[in-house]
Amino acid sequence: MGKSTLFNLLTGLNQHVGNWSGKTVERREGYFELNGRTTCLVDLPGTYSLTANSPEEVIAREFILREKPSMVIAMISAANLERSLYLVAELAALNVPLVVALNMIDVAAQEGIQVNVDALAQALGLPVIPMTASKAIGVRELLAVVEKSLDRQIFSNAQKPEVRSDHREVLSELERLIASHVPQPYPVDWVALKLLEGDAEMLRVMETNLPKPVWDAVYAVTCAHDDAFLAVASGRYEWIGQIIRSAVAHPKVGQVGLTDRIDRWAAHPVWGLVILALILGLVFWLTFTVGSPLQELMDTYLIAPLAGLAGQALSSAPVWVQGMIVDGLIGGVGSVLTFLPILVIFFAAFALIEDVGYMARAAYVMDNLMHHMGLHGKSFLPLFLGFGCNVPAIMGTRVIDSWPARLLTILIAPLVPCTARMAVVAFIAPVFFGASAVWVSWGLILLSMFALVSSGVLLNRIIFKGQRSAFIMEMPLYHIPNFRTVGLLVWQRSLAFVKKAGTAILGMALLVWVLSYLPNGDLNSSLLATFGQSIEPIGRLMGFDWRLTVALITSFPAKENAIATLGVLFGNSPDAGLADALAATFSTPSALSFLVVTMLFIPCMATVAVTKQETNSWRWALLSVLLLLGLSFLAGAVVYHLAVLLGM
């Protein structure tokens, strides 16, 4: 809260977003001018403490200890001072140059909290600069202090909290035991404290660095005091309490803040759901009224003319070059770009919802329901986006803090019926089911949802051994969104999509085109068709002939392709004649089975690409594909034979 705002303010577009090596945590690094000197700024993952409970915390403290930055700016919230100072307590223990930026002074004032900045600085032994980052107030003052501190014109004498009195001896004993064995760059007193806390990471480090007898002694001490964390935390909070008492005036008890008042509705078990439904409805309404038309405009005024131009420019080139460039390359590029309008809207909506502070309420309201599925409240919003398109749904899982829950959500997200799948259903269902097509469609959606929930429950049990992390979620105060932050986020996410997923999609599109073209440009005799014919026995289990199988395979680049492919295979355009041709060729059970398989089939290649992007490995993307492959075939086969049995 506020940290990213300041980072964006200082670095603007001079920033690079990547991942901390080997992790799925975002890393932002940028440059800005500090009085003529180019200064590098790293945005560490936002945390409230530096324990080993989450990768973000380990990343932050490892960076500070190993990279030894010249200055650490601790962004703390005046509206949440007790919590924020906990981080300062942890940072002070690291013995690093520290400056405190006291942000959200305005929000604090709104909630009736008054902070005496000088008293606070005195009590902390650190420079404290009041700020309102969202309005760029206090930034100059902050930079001035940072500069003076770097030039050693200001000295800080950070005060550090002590462990609660009943554990001080134990701490000293630990320090004595490990004194000569602590590896660089860790400070001895800090390591002793972490060991006392039971910090998993430091226990691991010291186990490898201590001679066996010393480690045994240390281990024995930590076991004998395995509830010491409470003492350490209490010690920090006592220290914080004293500081607060000397520097902060709280509102009278009973004064209801703005956040409280909004939460009466937004976090209400019933009204909260209504409000959530309304907000989601609004987002989807936007995508249909703004996004879809934009997509069509792009197709008409950008992609089609481009294809036309290319066709003209290449008119003297061999046919296969024309085909590859126009159909394969430009077609592929087109499919990437047409995602953008919808994606931008979803990214913006998501970023706004999170910046305002509503995201936590949405998760809170849905948590009960999600719990029954072995998921978290925070999984709901990304999954819901899947109804529009699975791609932003998977990218949206970033809001889920726990990695196992995030991974689980990513794996089951493709089961949410997206608009592309529904487009295939919308074309085929009326052909075979006439007036009952609506019921069939609903049935298919329910089937998908059922598959979603069961997969979630099963995967949870198998991969994560049924563990569900505790529901403990901080509810930030509501505040006016910072549109600059939101804008930058949307820009970065969209760019990341185009660069990473886009290249993967393009590659796959070209590959599919090549397979459907070779050896002589006719789809009916292409490599793809041959492949389809060779695996026809598998397809027949689900009631497919080779043409339906090939159509299914081409749905990989984009689900809607299935219809286009059938059109080509039957020598008709999708508008005229295809419907009749299908009705004449395939039985109802086959059609039903095809629809079931389409709904549950492997994610489209864009989805696979973002799965790889978000999980940082092809392994999970592959698992996702295999999972759905097996599920869809099983369901298809069952439905087909059941339908035949029922005499459909």
> Under the rule (CB under 8 A), what is the footprint of other proteins?
48-49, 51, 53, 79-83, 86, 113, 197-198, 226-227, 229-230, 233-234, 237, 250, 259-260, 263, 267, 269, 360, 364, 367-368, 371, 470-477
**DSSP E strands: which ranges in 9-164?**
15-19, 26-34, 37-43, 72-77, 98-103, 114-115, 128-130
Instruction: Give the nearest distance from C-beta 179 to other proteins in angstroms.
Output: 26
3-state secondary structure 594-645: HHHHHHHCCCCHHHHHHHHHHHCCHHHHHHHHHHHHHHHHHHHHHHHHHHHH
Instruction: Give the nearest distance from C-beta 229 to other proteins in angstroms.
Output: 5
Instruction: Give the nearest distance from C-beta 58 to other proteins in angstroms.
Output: 14
* Nearer to other proteins among residue 227 and residue 575 (C-beta): 227
* Nearer to other proteins among residue 140 and residue 371 (C-beta): 371
* Nearer to other proteins among residue 49 and residue 588 (C-beta): 49
CA dihedral 567, 572, 575, 579 (to 10 degrees): -70
The tokens of 210 are what? 């201590």
* Nearer to other proteins among residue 226 and residue 575 (C-beta): 226
Instruction: Give the nearest distance from C-beta 237 to other proteins in angstroms.
Output: 6
For residue 41, the cross-strand partners are 30
Instruction: Give the nearest distance from C-beta 614 to other proteins in angstroms.
Output: 25
Q: Where are the alpha helices (DSSP H) in 518-577?
A: 527-534, 536-541, 546-554, 561-569
Contact 578, 572 (CB under 8 A): yes
* Nearer to other proteins among residue 108 and residue 489 (C-beta): 108
DSSP code at position 291: I
Instruction: Give the nearest distance from C-beta 467 to other proteins in angstroms.
Output: 10
Half-sphere exposure at residue 399, Cβ-oriented, CA atoms within 13 angstroms: 28
User: Which backbone phi and psi does 132 adopt, to 5 degrees?
Assistant: -130, 90
* Nearer to other proteins among residue 76 and residue 146 (C-beta): 76
Instruction: Give the nearest distance from C-beta 470 to other proteins in angstroms.
Output: 5
Return the amino acid letter for 283: V
Greatest pairwise CA separation for the chain in angstroms: 88
* Nearer to other proteins among residue 401 and residue 545 (C-beta): 401
Instruction: Give the nearest distance from C-beta 367 to other proteins in angstroms.
Output: 6
* Nearer to other proteins among residue 234 and residue 494 (C-beta): 234
Instruction: Give the nearest distance from C-beta 613 to other proteins in angstroms.
Output: 29
DSSP code at position 572: S
* Nearer to other proteins among residue 213 and residue 269 (C-beta): 269
User: Which backbone phi and psi does 576 adopt, to 5 degrees?
Assistant: -110, 130
